[in-house]
Amino acid sequence: MSNETLNTLIGAMHLEVDEHNEGLNRLADLDHKHLKDLRINLSNVLASQHMTRKEALLTALSVAINEHRSALVKGLTELAKEEGVNDAELGELYALVSVMSTNNVLYRFRHYAEKEIYETTPAAIKMNTMMNPVLGKELFELISLALSAVNGCERCVRAHEDSVAKLGASPKKIFDAIRIASVVKGAGILL
Protein backbone atom coordinates (compact mmCIF):
# COMPACT_ATOMS: atom_id res chain seq x y z
CA MET A 1 0.00 0.00 0.00
CA SER A 2 1.96 2.93 -1.26
CA ASN A 3 -0.93 5.28 -1.97
CA GLU A 4 -0.15 8.66 -0.36
CA THR A 5 -3.77 9.42 0.57
CA LEU A 6 -4.11 6.04 2.24
CA ASN A 7 -0.86 6.50 4.13
CA THR A 8 -2.04 9.91 5.35
CA LEU A 9 -5.33 8.37 6.49
CA ILE A 10 -3.57 5.53 8.27
CA GLY A 11 -1.23 7.93 10.04
CA ALA A 12 -3.91 10.41 11.07
CA MET A 13 -6.19 7.72 12.48
CA HIS A 14 -3.39 5.65 14.10
CA LEU A 15 -4.50 2.64 12.07
CA GLU A 16 -2.74 -0.65 11.60
CA VAL A 17 -3.69 -1.88 8.15
CA ASP A 18 -2.08 -4.77 6.31
CA GLU A 19 -2.26 -6.69 3.05
CA HIS A 20 -5.31 -8.62 4.30
CA ASN A 21 -7.49 -5.51 4.13
CA GLU A 22 -8.97 -6.24 0.73
CA GLY A 23 -11.22 -3.20 0.36
CA LEU A 24 -8.52 -0.68 1.17
CA ASN A 25 -5.99 -2.48 -1.00
CA ARG A 26 -8.33 -2.43 -3.99
CA LEU A 27 -8.97 1.28 -3.60
CA ALA A 28 -5.27 2.02 -3.04
CA ASP A 29 -4.28 0.04 -6.14
CA LEU A 30 -6.73 2.10 -8.17
CA ASP A 31 -5.76 5.34 -6.44
CA HIS A 32 -9.51 5.63 -6.00
CA LYS A 33 -11.00 9.03 -5.18
CA HIS A 34 -13.00 7.52 -2.31
CA LEU A 35 -9.83 7.27 -0.23
CA LYS A 36 -9.51 11.05 -0.32
CA ASP A 37 -13.21 11.42 0.55
CA LEU A 38 -12.77 8.99 3.44
CA ARG A 39 -9.73 10.85 4.78
CA ILE A 40 -11.47 14.23 4.48
CA ASN A 41 -14.76 12.99 5.94
CA LEU A 42 -13.09 11.41 8.99
CA SER A 43 -10.95 14.48 9.54
CA ASN A 44 -13.91 16.84 9.20
CA VAL A 45 -16.29 15.02 11.52
CA LEU A 46 -13.65 14.61 14.21
CA ALA A 47 -13.04 18.36 14.05
CA SER A 48 -16.67 19.19 14.84
CA GLN A 49 -17.41 22.84 15.50
CA HIS A 50 -20.15 21.90 17.96
CA MET A 51 -18.50 19.09 19.93
CA THR A 52 -15.20 18.95 21.72
CA ARG A 53 -12.54 16.73 20.17
CA LYS A 54 -12.95 14.36 23.11
CA GLU A 55 -16.73 14.12 22.56
CA ALA A 56 -16.24 13.55 18.84
CA LEU A 57 -13.65 10.83 19.42
CA LEU A 58 -15.78 9.05 22.01
CA THR A 59 -18.77 9.14 19.67
CA ALA A 60 -16.66 7.77 16.82
CA LEU A 61 -15.14 5.12 19.07
CA SER A 62 -18.57 3.98 20.25
CA VAL A 63 -19.61 3.30 16.66
CA ALA A 64 -16.36 1.45 15.90
CA ILE A 65 -16.93 -0.72 19.00
CA ASN A 66 -20.57 -1.28 18.04
CA GLU A 67 -19.55 -2.33 14.53
CA HIS A 68 -16.69 -4.59 15.72
CA ARG A 69 -14.06 -2.72 13.68
CA SER A 70 -10.90 -3.59 15.60
CA ALA A 71 -8.48 -1.44 13.55
CA LEU A 72 -10.70 1.60 14.04
CA VAL A 73 -11.24 0.79 17.72
CA LYS A 74 -7.51 0.61 18.32
CA GLY A 75 -6.73 3.80 16.41
CA LEU A 76 -9.59 5.80 17.90
CA THR A 77 -8.72 4.57 21.39
CA GLU A 78 -5.17 5.89 20.96
CA LEU A 79 -6.49 9.23 19.71
CA ALA A 80 -8.99 9.41 22.58
CA LYS A 81 -6.28 8.73 25.16
CA GLU A 82 -4.17 11.49 23.61
CA GLU A 83 -7.19 13.74 24.21
CA GLY A 84 -7.30 12.82 27.89
CA VAL A 85 -9.90 10.05 27.92
CA ASN A 86 -9.29 7.89 30.99
CA ASP A 87 -9.87 4.20 31.71
CA ALA A 88 -13.14 4.85 33.58
CA GLU A 89 -14.53 6.71 30.56
CA LEU A 90 -13.38 3.99 28.16
CA GLY A 91 -14.91 1.30 30.35
CA GLU A 92 -18.18 3.16 30.52
CA LEU A 93 -18.16 3.61 26.74
CA TYR A 94 -17.99 -0.17 26.26
CA ALA A 95 -20.82 -0.60 28.77
CA LEU A 96 -22.84 2.06 26.95
CA VAL A 97 -22.40 0.29 23.59
CA SER A 98 -23.53 -2.97 25.17
CA VAL A 99 -26.57 -1.40 26.84
CA MET A 100 -27.62 0.38 23.67
CA SER A 101 -27.27 -2.78 21.61
CA THR A 102 -29.55 -4.53 24.07
CA ASN A 103 -32.09 -1.70 24.22
CA ASN A 104 -32.09 -1.08 20.49
CA VAL A 105 -33.05 -4.69 19.77
CA LEU A 106 -35.79 -4.76 22.40
CA TYR A 107 -37.36 -1.39 21.58
CA ARG A 108 -37.03 -1.86 17.83
CA PHE A 109 -38.96 -5.14 18.23
CA ARG A 110 -41.65 -3.45 20.31
CA HIS A 111 -41.96 -0.72 17.69
CA TYR A 112 -42.17 -3.14 14.76
CA ALA A 113 -44.53 -5.62 16.43
CA GLU A 114 -47.03 -2.98 17.58
CA LYS A 115 -48.74 -5.33 20.03
CA GLU A 116 -49.95 -4.28 23.46
CA ILE A 117 -48.59 -7.41 25.14
CA TYR A 118 -45.03 -6.46 24.19
CA GLU A 119 -45.54 -2.83 25.14
CA THR A 120 -46.89 -3.66 28.59
CA THR A 121 -44.52 -6.50 29.47
CA PRO A 122 -41.66 -5.12 31.60
CA ALA A 123 -38.28 -5.16 29.87
CA ALA A 124 -36.72 -6.74 33.00
CA ILE A 125 -33.24 -5.66 31.87
CA LYS A 126 -30.83 -4.00 34.29
CA MET A 127 -29.32 -0.75 33.02
CA ASN A 128 -27.52 0.73 36.03
CA THR A 129 -24.80 2.10 33.77
CA MET A 130 -27.28 4.74 32.60
CA MET A 131 -27.47 6.25 36.09
CA ASN A 132 -24.92 8.97 36.91
CA PRO A 133 -22.62 8.25 33.96
CA VAL A 134 -18.91 9.08 34.23
CA LEU A 135 -19.17 10.62 30.75
CA GLY A 136 -21.83 13.05 31.95
CA LYS A 137 -25.50 12.74 31.15
CA GLU A 138 -25.46 14.89 27.99
CA LEU A 139 -22.61 13.02 26.31
CA PHE A 140 -24.02 9.68 27.43
CA GLU A 141 -27.37 10.55 25.82
CA LEU A 142 -25.69 11.96 22.69
CA ILE A 143 -23.73 8.74 22.16
CA SER A 144 -26.87 6.72 22.93
CA LEU A 145 -28.62 8.67 20.17
CA ALA A 146 -25.80 8.08 17.70
CA LEU A 147 -25.75 4.34 18.42
CA SER A 148 -29.54 4.13 18.17
CA ALA A 149 -29.35 5.73 14.73
CA VAL A 150 -26.66 3.26 13.63
CA ASN A 151 -28.67 0.34 15.01
CA GLY A 152 -31.89 1.51 13.38
CA CYS A 153 -34.12 1.90 16.43
CA GLU A 154 -36.60 4.65 15.58
CA ARG A 155 -38.17 4.72 19.03
CA CYS A 156 -34.73 4.97 20.68
CA VAL A 157 -33.65 7.73 18.29
CA ARG A 158 -36.72 9.77 19.16
CA ALA A 159 -36.32 9.23 22.91
CA HIS A 160 -32.58 9.99 23.04
CA GLU A 161 -32.87 12.99 20.70
CA ASP A 162 -35.54 14.44 22.96
CA SER A 163 -33.53 13.69 26.08
CA VAL A 164 -30.23 15.15 24.82
CA ALA A 165 -32.00 18.28 23.56
CA LYS A 166 -33.58 18.76 27.00
CA LEU A 167 -30.11 18.41 28.52
CA GLY A 168 -28.97 21.38 26.45
CA ALA A 169 -27.41 19.95 23.30
CA SER A 170 -28.02 22.16 20.29
CA PRO A 171 -29.50 20.74 17.08
CA LYS A 172 -26.11 21.37 15.42
CA LYS A 173 -24.31 19.33 18.07
CA ILE A 174 -26.87 16.55 17.73
CA PHE A 175 -26.51 16.55 13.95
CA ASP A 176 -22.70 16.47 14.24
CA ALA A 177 -22.95 13.34 16.41
CA ILE A 178 -25.07 11.68 13.75
CA ARG A 179 -22.62 12.74 11.02
CA ILE A 180 -19.79 11.20 13.03
CA ALA A 181 -21.76 7.97 13.43
CA SER A 182 -22.57 7.77 9.73
CA VAL A 183 -19.01 8.46 8.57
CA VAL A 184 -17.48 5.98 11.02
CA LYS A 185 -20.06 3.33 10.09
CA GLY A 186 -19.19 3.80 6.42
CA ALA A 187 -15.44 3.94 7.07
CA GLY A 188 -15.68 0.73 9.05
CA ILE A 189 -16.60 -1.14 5.87
CA LEU A 190 -13.07 -0.47 4.64
CA LEU A 191 -11.04 -0.07 7.81
Q: Which of 9, 58, 100, 156 is catalytic?
A: 156
Q: Which of 46, 71, 145, 153 is catalytic?
A: 153
The two counts, helices (H) then strands (E), for the chain are: 10, 0
Q: Is 60 a catalytic residue?
A: no
Q: Is 156 a catalytic residue?
A: yes
Asked whether the beta carbons of 135 and 96 are under 8 A apart, the reply is: yes
The 8 Å CB, 24+ separation contacts for 28-31 are 28/1, 28/2, 28/3, 29/3, 31/3, 31/5
Asked whether the beta carbons of 95 and 122 are under 8 A apart, the reply is: no
> Which residues carry out catalysis?
153, 156
